Structures are given as C-alpha cells and as structure tokens.
Structure 1
C-alpha cells in the first residue's frame, strides 16, 4: 500500500525524478584515527584516494562525544518534514552505518545514517552530524570509491531542502556503477529494479540512505509514519526472481525502529534517497 498521498512538498515537482550518473566503482579500504573529527578524517581519506565520490560503511565504528538528529515533523509550511532538536552523547558504538561522501560548496561533505548502542541511551538511530562526531578508537573501514561524477549538495525547489544530487564530471569509457538520487514519491523498489535493467548492471549491490513515506515489509510489521530516516542494510541488491532485495532499517519521529525486507511498490521516497549501484 503506497502512502505517497500523505506528504506534499511546498514546491513544484522537479525534473528529472531520477538523477543518475554512470561511472566506475572500486573497493576502498581506509583507516580512521582515534580522536579525529569524523568529517576531517573522511576528508583526508578522500584526498588520499583521489576519487570523485564514495560510499563507505562505518559498521563497528566507536564514537567519542557525538551529536545527531532524528526525523521530525516540520514546524511550518516551508517543508513537509524536518529534523529533531540536536541530541548528544559521550560515547557509542555503531552497529551499522552508511555514509555518502561528496562535496558541499567545493569541500568534502558526508551524509550518514546509522544505528548504534549508547551506554546511557541504549539503542539509537538517526542522522549523525559529521562535524560534531569524534572518533573514539582507531578504525579500519571499507566501501567504494567512485569516479566519473560526484554527489554534490544542491538546492531543491520542490522540497526546499539542499541535499546530495549526482553531478557528472567526466565520461568513462567502461562503467560498472552509477550514483543515483531519487525525487519525492518515486517508489524505491521500482526505481532500483528499473535502473538495474536500464543501466545493464545485472544484479547490482545497492548501498544507500534516505527517507520514506511509510513502508511495508515482507517479513516485519509496517512503518506507518510518513516521515522517517532510512538505511539500506548489507546484502541489498537490485534484481532477483521476486524483484529487488532491499533489507532496510527505519526510524520514525517517535524513535520507533522498523527493520525488514521492503515489499515492492509500497515505499515512496519522502525527501530524497541517495544510492550507489555496483554491477553484480
């Protein structure tokens, strides 16, 4: 059941509804040092990797002092959704986390959704603020570097937000991947299935984060909230006998958690969804 009608954004629909840049993705391994600010440390990784963009996993990362926000209702008519007040904690350990790395005003920037354990708060989930997160212990991580285009923070008239949108930087002769952002009301599962076929990626690995207008799961109770923050889990892929396999974790404004495999054609995007598809 689509809940797309529950969200209306203040501006006219932007075109295209799917922003796609093809390029080359390769595995990326990296090290982060204890005591560093997350954004500063990732910027150093990106400079050393000499790539255009990246998507990295942060599973198991230990945090020192950190700040985060959760999804929330908008306080006015300027946006259809907004963020909670800023929360903070002295330490935590990420269970699972994904960061999209691109540019904002020419400088490295990242967008990170994660699930973690906080000794004081218990289990938490939300949007980590990269300039307000300190790395608590040395960390070895992995992900994908991407060349041919970058995620670039772009103003969006439809939602009145600025967020990552793929921007092409150069043509690559041989490509094996694409960076993608989806506009509001695009069905996530449908978009992944169609892009996998259109881009001839076979059964691609899909790594991404964003927000959804509710969600139905094959194997778990539904999320009814039209406002959320979402993280695709390890193993997500774009094509299979029954369509895309999209294990997902969601948090709603009340702090409720939902985890399961998305049911096709029931998962419209709320504000945006950012993804990397790598040929399988």
Structure 2
C-alpha cells in the first residue's frame, strides 16, 4: 500500500543523513558525438559498445526522434514504505513509439554500462512522459542520435545514504583530469537543491560567458515563467532543448515533467522555484565544444 502524497516540502523526509556537499560535481571534457543505430539494435548494448570503443567514461545523449519497438516504463509514485520519500509506479508497457523528446545519461552500474532515460512521446494520440527501463529498449527503425561523450569524469551508480536509493553519482578521474583540458562539468544535485540556482552556481566554475545544460531528474514541484505551476511534489523531468545561458542573457531552463497523477507540465523554470526531489543529473558545458571534432562510430 502506498503512503499519501506529500502536501508540503516539510512532508518530504529522506531517511539518511543529509549530504554535506549539496552540489557534488566533477569537471570533464565533453565532445560532441553521433551514433548511427541499425534496425533491431538493442539500445543499451549499442551505446555501451560505442562508449567502450571511444574510451569514454560516460555520455549524455539526446534520443529525440528515435523510434523504439515495444518497451517498458515507470512513472513517479508515492512511496511503498516508511523510509523513502518517493517510489516508482508499477511497470507500464508501450507498444512502441517515436520519442519526441528524450535524454539518456550513460554511466556505470555494477561494473556494466547502464542508462538512465526519461522521455516524452505520444501513443495513440495520448501524451506520455516516463522513466524508460533501459534493458527493454530496442531500435525499431534505422536512425541516429547525438550527444556528448565524456572524459575525465563519470556517472557511477552507488547507494546514496541520504535518499537510500542507488543513484548515479559523479566520480572524478583525477589522473585523466590533470592531463585533459575541460570544457564542462557533471553534477548530481542533492535533495531540495533548486535546479536553476544550482546551475547558476556551478556554471561559475566554468568561467565562460555562455553555457548549455543537459539532463534529467526529479522535482518537488515547480514554478514556471510561462505556465501554471506544477503543484504535485513528486515528479520526473527532462530538460528540453536550448537550456542554458547566452552571453549577457538570463539562464533559461525549459523542462517537461510528469506528476503523480500523470499530469504533464512544460515550461521555463522560475529561479528558486524548482527544488530537487531525489536528484538531478546534469551536464553543464561551455560553448568551446565548437572547437572540438565530433566523434562517431566510424572513427
């Protein structure tokens, strides 16, 4: 039996001790990449092979436009116990769909490649947004995806003491980071860290007039500049295209989100109005990526 939904931020309690570092991060080199995917390809295996061949530690990928065969996914849900702040829904199944907007974080779990995927799609004219189960994803039609391969830092899954979830955590490759120029950093925000405020604070380390942001996560409600607020305090989100800040312009963080009731939300976040629920996994990157040669499976 699931517990009632929280009504305020004070109702959200995580079971473990609060992490001292609320904005853990690691610097890295992010290089643009493009991966061609053949029909019937198992997505996670293809991504892992590519990352291994290219010597990547992790990757952040845009799966928008990719068509998948039948797959499984879950939605945000109330907790099933007295400890965790939230949980996943029962598993849902899709008959297959083209992802209109999707982000995948590729990292390591139990020594193997693993992907955290949030996506928005339409199925039989019904809009959906959910957390896709990576081992169920198979490419339906030949296509290509783009993103950024990372060197010098990685997303590695481990037990997070504060939330008691196994989550991607950032891990610095100290030896490689000393010999690699960096143009980006990755982060996994702690609960209640505001998404927009955190991005602005972390971006200062890049010392660049403009930057881009990619990622996904969960929020405990959200206020938008251009839409009605998301009042539900358990949600899953993905950052939309064009998140970031241009020179002498305000940071813009457009997201898509789904709440406990399956309600969909879309808009540009208001600074200070989007506290993290469990974590947000992000890549923050300067504009210097244009000076880098893209990598592909033919390299």
Q: TM-score range by the shorter chain?
A: over 0.9
Aligned to 1:182: 189
Query: Pairwise CA RMSD of aligned residues?
Result: 1.5
SS at match of 2:24: strand
Paired residues of 1:196 and 1:202 also in contact (CA < 8 A): no
Aligned to 1:76: 81
Structure 1 runs (4+) deviating above 3 angstroms are 238-243
- Per the TM alignment, residue 197 of structure 1 is displaced from its structure 2 partner at its CA by 1.4
User: How far apart in 1 are the matches of 2:151 and 2:141?
Assistant: 30
SS at match of 1:171: helix
User: How far apart in 1 are the matches of 2:148 and 2:120?
Assistant: 20
Bigger mean CA offset, 87-96 vs 192-201: 192-201
Sort the Cα spacing of 1:239 and 1:166 in 2 relative to 1 into closer, same or farther, 3 A.
farther
**How many residues are aligned here?**
277
Q: 2:95 aligns with which of 68, 85, 90?
A: 90
Paired residues of 1:36 and 1:134 also in contact (CA < 8 A): yes
Aligned pair 1:209/2:213, yes or no? no
User: How far apart in 1 are the matches of 2:249 and 2:209?
Assistant: 14
- Per the TM alignment, residue 242 of structure 1 is displaced from its structure 2 partner at its CA by 6.2
Aligned to 1:109: 114
Q: CA-to-partner distance for each residue in 1:182-218, whole Å, 9 max, x for gaps?
A: 0001111111111111331332100010000100000
Which runs of 5 or more structure 2 residues have no equivalent in the other structure? 1-7, 288-299
Which runs of 5 or more structure 1 residues have no equivalent in the other structure? none
Q: 2:167 aligns with which of 152, 163, 168?
A: 163
Aligned to 2:232: 225
Bigger mean CA offset, 102-111 vs 37-46: 37-46
Q: 2:251 aligns with which of 244, 261, 273?
A: 244
Aligned to 1:64: 69
- Per the TM alignment, residue 89 of structure 1 is displaced from its structure 2 partner at its CA by 1.8
TM-score (norm 1): 0.95
Q: CA-to-partner distance for each residue in 1:227-267, whole Å, 9 max, x for gaps?
A: 00000000000466564210010101211000000000011
